[in-house]
């Protein structure tokens, strides 16, 4: 797993391919969309990959609380070849950038 740190073309292409698998209405508008998400301090974008490609992605929204940051899952998409293998849980298990007070 990794965290998207810049709006590289690889991430734009990956999200462009993953979003239609999430919903027939979902499509990546443009590279600036990824740039806004990456540069937003209130969001973290964990991705899962193989050496060949990115196969899964998520958006975690971060909220400051008195005891630390809370990360809330706003969206998870897994490529059809990886579904049913528990990979979505890997994206959100560690809550990159935040923690849950319930743990």
Across the range 77-91, mean pLDDT stands at 74
Q: How far apart are CA 26 and CA 42, in angstroms?
A: 22
**Given a cut of 60, is residue 98 above it in pLDDT?**
no
**Is residue 101 in a domain?**
no
Mean pLDDT for the chain? 79
**Distance from the first to the final alpha carbon of the chain:** 21
Q: How far apart are CA 45 and CA 102, in angstroms?
A: 22
User: Residue 47 corresponds to which tokens in the numbers above?
Assistant: 């991705």
Across the range 68-89, mean pLDDT stands at 79
pLDDT of residue 103: 46
Across the range 56-67, mean pLDDT stands at 86
**Is residue 18 in a domain?**
yes
* Residue span of the structural domain in which 56 resides: 2-93
**Is residue 58 in a domain?**
yes
pLDDT of residue 92: 62
This model's pTM is above 0.75 = no
The CATH number of residue 53's host domain is 3.40.630.30
**Is residue 100 in a domain?**
no
**Count: domains in the chain:** 1
**Is residue 102 in a domain?**
no
């Amino acid at each position: 797993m990794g965290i998207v740190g810049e709006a590289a073309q690889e991430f734009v292409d990956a999200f462009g391919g993953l979003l239609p698998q999430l919903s027939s209405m979902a499509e990546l508008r443009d590279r600036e969309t990824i740039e806004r998400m990456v540069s937003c301090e209130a969001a973290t974008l964990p991705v899962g990959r193989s050496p060949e490609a990115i196969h899964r992605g998520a958006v975690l929204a971060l909220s400051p609380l008195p005891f630390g940051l809370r990360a809330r899952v706003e969206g998870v998409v897994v490529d059809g070849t990886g579904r049913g293998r528990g990979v979505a849980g890997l994206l959100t298990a560690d809550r990159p950038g935040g923690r849950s007070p319930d743990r």
